[in-house]
Chain A
Amino acid sequence: MSTIENLKIKKKNFQLSIKHWEILDEGIHVLMGPSGSGKSTILKAMIGIEDIQSLNWFYKGEDLALLPVEKRNLGAVFQTWDLFPHMTAFENVKFAADVRKMKSDDFNSQWEWLQEKLKMKTFASTLADRLSGGEKQRTAFARAIVTKPRFLLLDEPFSALDADLRHESRLLLRDLVRAQKIPTLMVTHDLDEARLLADKMTQIDEVTEILR
Chain B
Amino acid sequence: MQRSLLGFAILLFLISPVIFLLFSVTGGFQIQIDELLWAVKNSFFQSFMSAFFCLFFGFIAALGLIKTHQHRPAIHAVLVVLCLIPQFIPVVVVLISVMNGLQPFPMGLPGIIIVHVVSYFGMTAILIQNQAQEVLSQTSQAAQVIGSSRFMFYRKIGFPLLRKDLILIFTYLTAVFFSSFSVPLIVGGGRGTTLEVLIFEKMRLSSDWSPAVILSLVQTALLFVLSFLAIKGRAKFSKQQASLSWLGSYAGVFLILIIMAAFFASFASAVVDGLSQIGNLSIYGTDLIEAFLASLFLAFLTYSAVMGFLFAFCGLGRVPHYLDTFLNGYIAPSTALTCFGLLVYFPADFYWSYIKIPLAFLLLSLPSLYRLGWGEKLKSLDPQIQIARSLGAGSFQILKKITWPQMKSHSRFMSGLVATWVCGDFAISRILSTRDFTLGLIVESLMTSYRLSLASLLSLLLILASGLCFFIVLGLDYVDNRKFKN
Give A residues with C-beta under 8 Å from B. 44, 47-49, 69-76, 78, 80, 82-86, 95-96, 98-100, 143-144, 147
**CB of B263 to closest CB in A, whole Å:** 40
User: Does B390 touch A at the CB level, under 8 Å?
Assistant: yes
Which residue of B383, B384, B389, B402 is within 8 Å of A69 (Cβ)?
B389
Pair A80/B383 contact, Cβ less than 8 Å: yes
Which residue of B386, B389, B391, B406 is within 8 Å of A100 (Cβ)?
B391
Of the listed stretches B244-252, B264-272, B392-400, chain A binds B392-400
**CB of B408 to closest CB in A, whole Å:** 10
User: Does B405 touch A at the CB level, under 8 Å?
Assistant: yes
User: Does B166 touch A at the CB level, under 8 Å?
Assistant: no
Which residue of B383, B390, B393, B405 is within 8 Å of A74 (Cβ)?
B390
Given known pairs A84-B402, A86-B405, A86-B406, the reply for A95 and B383 (CB within 8 Å) is: no
Pair A49/B397 contact, Cβ less than 8 Å: no
Pair B390/A49 contact, Cβ less than 8 Å: yes
Interface residues on B, range: 10 to 19
Pair B388/A99 contact, Cβ less than 8 Å: yes
Chain B hits for A71, CB < 8 A = 392
Chain B hits for A76, CB < 8 A = 387, 390-391
Given known pairs A70-B392, A71-B392, A99-B392, the reply for A78 and B387 (CB within 8 Å) is: yes
User: Does B401 touch A at the CB level, under 8 Å?
Assistant: yes
Give B residues with C-beta under 8 Å from A. 383-384, 386-394, 397, 401-402, 405-406
The 7 closest A-B pairs by CB, nearest first: A82-B383, A99-B393, A70-B392, A69-B389, A96-B391, A76-B390, A82-B387
Measured between alpha carbons, how far is A69 from B3 in the docked complex, in Å?
14
Chain A hits for B394, CB < 8 A = 70, 99
**CB of A210 to closest CB in B, whole Å:** 24
Measured between alpha carbons, how far is A137 from B389 in the docked complex, in Å?
19
Pair A84/B391 contact, Cβ less than 8 Å: no
Chain B hits for A70, CB < 8 A = 389-394
**CB of A107 to closest CB in B, whole Å:** 14
Pair A78/B383 contact, Cβ less than 8 Å: yes
Interface centre among A76, A82, A83, A144 (most CB of B within 10 A): A82
- Assuming A75-B390, A84-B384, A99-B392, what are 10 further A-B pairs, CB within 8 angstroms? A47-B386, A48-B389, A49-B389, A70-B390, A70-B392, A95-B393, A98-B397, A99-B388, A99-B393, A147-B391
Chain B hits for A143, CB < 8 A = 391
**CB of B379 to closest CB in A, whole Å:** 14
**CB of B395 to closest CB in A, whole Å:** 9
Measured between alpha carbons, how far is A86 from B402 in the docked complex, in Å?
8
**CB of A138 to closest CB in B, whole Å:** 16
Output the nearest chain B residue to A82 by Cβ-Cβ distance.
B383
**CB of A129 to closest CB in B, whole Å:** 11
Chain B hits for A44, CB < 8 A = 386
**CB of A53 to closest CB in B, whole Å:** 15
Measured between alpha carbons, how far is A147 from B383 in the docked complex, in Å?
20
Measured between alpha carbons, how far is A9 from B382 in the docked complex, in Å?
21
Measured between alpha carbons, how far is A95 from B387 in the docked complex, in Å?
11
Output the nearest chain A residue to B402 by Cβ-Cβ distance.
A84
19 contacts between A and B (CB under 8 A): A44-B386, A47-B390, A49-B386, A70-B390, A75-B391, A78-B383, A82-B384, A82-B387, A83-B384, A84-B384, A84-B402, A84-B406, A96-B391, A98-B397, A99-B391, A99-B392, A99-B394, A143-B391, A147-B392
Measured between alpha carbons, how far is A193 from B402 in the docked complex, in Å?
33
Output the nearest chain B residue to A143 by Cβ-Cβ distance.
B391
Chain A hits for B405, CB < 8 A = 86
Given known pairs A80-B383, A99-B397, the reply for A85 and B406 (CB within 8 Å) is: yes
Pair A95/B390 contact, Cβ less than 8 Å: no
**CB of B450 to closest CB in A, whole Å:** 54
Chain A hits for B401, CB < 8 A = 84, 95
Which residue of A48, A80, A86, A98 is within 8 Å of B390 (Cβ)?
A48
Measured between alpha carbons, how far is A17 from B174 in the docked complex, in Å?
48
Given known pairs A95-B401, A99-B397, the reply for A82 and B386 (CB within 8 Å) is: yes
Chain A hits for B390, CB < 8 A = 47-49, 69-70, 72, 74-76
Pair A95/B388 contact, Cβ less than 8 Å: yes
Chain B hits for A95, CB < 8 A = 388, 391, 393, 401
**CB of B387 to closest CB in A, whole Å:** 5
**CB of B144 to closest CB in A, whole Å:** 34
**CB of A150 to closest CB in B, whole Å:** 11
Chain B hits for A69, CB < 8 A = 389-390
**CB of A102 to closest CB in B, whole Å:** 10
**CB of B477 to closest CB in A, whole Å:** 14
Output the nearest chain B residue to A76 by Cβ-Cβ distance.
B390
Interface centre among B389, B390, B402 (most CB of A within 10 A): B390
Chain B hits for A49, CB < 8 A = 386, 389-390
Measured between alpha carbons, how far is A48 from B388 in the docked complex, in Å?
12
Pair A73/B384 contact, Cβ less than 8 Å: no
Given known pairs A85-B406, A86-B406, the reply for A100 and B383 (CB within 8 Å) is: no
Chain A hits for B406, CB < 8 A = 84-86
